[in-house]
Structure 1
Amino acid sequence: MTTLRDIMTTDLTTTDPRATLKEVATLMREQDIGNVLIMDGDTLSGIITDRDIVVRAVAYGHDLGSAATDYATGNVFTMEAETSVQEAAKAMADRQLRRLPVTDGAKVVGIVSLADLATRASGGADEQALQGISQPTI
């Protein structure tokens, strides 16, 4: 059984809750990534994506000096590292998630993206579940 631990990215880019949109966008550019985890100490307090910055802030002309947490998703859904890829794909589809932080106990140890599920999961995730993540809800 392939687990999230087998396919997760462990090189996480994080910031603290005081970071601005500009600081987060700069991290994304420097690291060539599309999301940053917002950590309050060792606790995951949010996740912000490049799309969040564009759609929730820039499109409305908001100040790039604003706190990133104001535009981030809080109460982030996570799954344990030993979760099967199939179970994770279903949970991501059910919740329409493209990124899933992975935990080991209370500690964030990695992140899995929709692309990770599609390309790294050998024998991998249920194709229908993966397709469901990108489908608009009716």
Structure 2
Amino acid sequence: MVDPTAPRVEDVVRLPEDASLDQVAETMHAEGVGSVVVTGETTDLAGIVTDRDVALALRDGIDPTQTTASDVMTADPVTAEQGAEVFEVVEMMREEGVRRLPLVDEAGDVVRLVSLDDVLALLGEEFADVAALVEAQT
């Protein structure tokens, strides 16, 4: 079973604040991700841009070559510590109304971006394990 809160630094896709929205969309497509962490000059986490942010900006008629990640990102997103339990992460997502939550280390650097899909996959595996246990006992 894969714990969606376990660190996977190599899977975190990052772009600078001045990346164009066009670059953001191309990177998301190339990397097969639905969000990118936006880095600043002095921080590993200036914000997050999601595929929804891109879609809404395009719907509003912006020029993706002249719009930057910092123009559409969610700045200073809520985070959880990398050792957070899965249910803590779910509760934070629910309270904040987000589908993606960065996990940060003690220095505040992003070590993983947990998505609601990650959590649902883990819970699905857990339910399957419980079902198998119940079936084995009957």
TM-score with structure 1 setting the length: 0.79
CA contact (8 A) 1:13 1:37 kept: yes
CA contact (8 A) 2:5 2:114 kept: no
- Are 2:22 and 1:22 aligned? yes
Query: Does 1:53 pair with 2:54?
Result: yes
Are 2:121 and 1:119 equivalent residues in the alignment?
Answer: yes
Separation of aligned partners in 1, 2:37 and 2:23:
13
Counterpart Cα distance in 2 of 1:51 and 1:100? 15
Identity %: 31
How far apart are the structure 1 equivalents of 2:85 and 2:3? 4
Q: CA deviation at 1:67?
A: 1.1
The residue number in structure 2 matching 1:85 is 86
Flag structure 2 segments of 5+ consecutive residues without an equivalent: 128-138
Matches within 5 A, 1:31-42: 31-41=31-41, 42=43
Q: d(CA) in 1 for partners of 2:73 and 2:62?
A: 14
What is the total number of aligned residue pairs between the two structures?
A: 121
Return the match for 1:107 from 109, 115, 129.
Answer: 109
Q: Distance in 2 between matches of 1:84 and 1:50?
A: 26
